[in-house]
Amino acid sequence: MTDVADVLATSRVTAGPAFASDLGRHGSAVALWTDDGEITYASLARRVQDWADRLTGPRSLVAIEVVPTVESIAAYLGAMTAGHAVMVLGPNNDLEMLHRAFGPTHVLRPDGHTVAVEHVVSGARPDLHPDLCLLLGTSGSTGSPRWVRLSTRNVDANATAIAASLSLGADDCGITALPLSYCYGLSVLHSHLAVGGAVALTGNSVVDECFWATARQAGVTSLATVPHTLDLLDRSGAADRFPASLRLITQAGGALRRDSVLGWA
């Protein structure tokens, strides 16, 4: 975790994580499932490059609210591919405070299925630590939210380690059951892209039938949860709607009650 002063140092251009900069190698494999159809790796790679070209310029801090849409994910990956450091925003971040404290040059926010560049600062830019790739905010549950610094090596290593520990492969498909502004939710995207797998995009709750319709259509194989997710599944009976393809449920974000552990074991 870091204070603002610790972020600042000399700047240089970096390449971004391998799973973001080398998407095209997976070709016609499906990268993202949406209610409107599938997006191949080749198509996603083109969108990511479009955003990298749009964000060309000196390395800077780009703040992005990442949501489960194709364009938002492309903008997020494109900013990293362009060599920028990326600050992942949640819907309730105080932008005025972030501008004062960190000075992002761009702020990208969702606008329906597109992404709007709401704020661009010209002129002097704050120097960035040469290894800085990603800033992720903590939940703030123990006080004011703090920002965790991750290097490109950190981000790649985390994605590949998760994929290895869960035996994820190109045939696997995750789903956005958790917000992408939450590190655990974001790790689902990273780890599946790292192995050429797919992610189904939905903003619906696990108690919504539309969530499970998307899961069935995409052939979702894994579901990332927190204790609250499992409580919702228990109370709503949504577990009866699991697709036949589901092979893995993971849980983080706090300890489960003993009865819940036994019930899900």
Residue 33 is assigned to a structural domain of this protein: no
Tokens of 96: 């005025």
* CB contact at 8 A, 202 and 33: no
Query: Is 249 found in the same domain as 180?
Result: yes
* CB contact at 8 A, 118 and 109: yes
Residue at a domain's end among 151, 171, 200:
151
Query: Is 169 found in the same domain as 140?
Result: no
Residue 36 is assigned to a structural domain of this protein: no
The pTM for the full model equals 0.90
Residue 152, pLDDT > 70, answer yes
Q: pLDDT-derived band of residue 15, with 50, 70 and 90 as boundaries? A: confident
Query: Is 204 found in the same domain as 89?
Result: no
Q: pLDDT-derived band of residue 112, with 50, 70 and 90 as boundaries? A: confident
Residue 34 is assigned to a structural domain of this protein: no
Q: Which residues contact 182 (CB under 8 A, 6 or more apart)?
A: 90, 139
Q: pLDDT-derived band of residue 23, with 50, 70 and 90 as boundaries? A: very high
Residue 33 has phi, psi (to 5 degrees) of -105, 135
Residue 234 is assigned to a structural domain of this protein: yes
Residue 9, pLDDT > 60, answer no
Calculate mean pLDDT across residues 172-199: 97
Q: Is 147 helix (H, G, I), strand (E, B) or coil?
A: strand
Query: Is 163 found in the same domain as 234?
Result: yes
Pairing of strands 147-151, 132-137: antiparallel
30-66 exposure pattern, b = at least 16 Cβ within 10 A, e = fewer: bbbbbeeeebbbebbbebbbebbeebeeebbbbbbbb
Residue 29, pLDDT > 80, answer yes
Query: Is 160 found in the same domain as 103?
Result: no
Structural domain boundaries enclosing 236: 156-264
CATH at residue 231: 3.40.50.980
Query: Is 162 found in the same domain as 117?
Result: no
Residue 161 is assigned to a structural domain of this protein: yes
Residue 259 is assigned to a structural domain of this protein: yes
Residue 30, pLDDT > 90, answer yes
Residue 255, pLDDT > 90, answer no
* CB contact at 8 A, 160 and 185: no
Query: Is 253 found in the same domain as 203?
Result: yes
Domain count, the chain: 2
Query: Is 12 found in the same domain as 141?
Result: yes
Query: Is 116 found in the same domain as 8?
Result: yes
Query: Is 209 found in the same domain as 100?
Result: no
* pLDDT score of 96: 81
Query: Is 133 found in the same domain as 48?
Result: yes
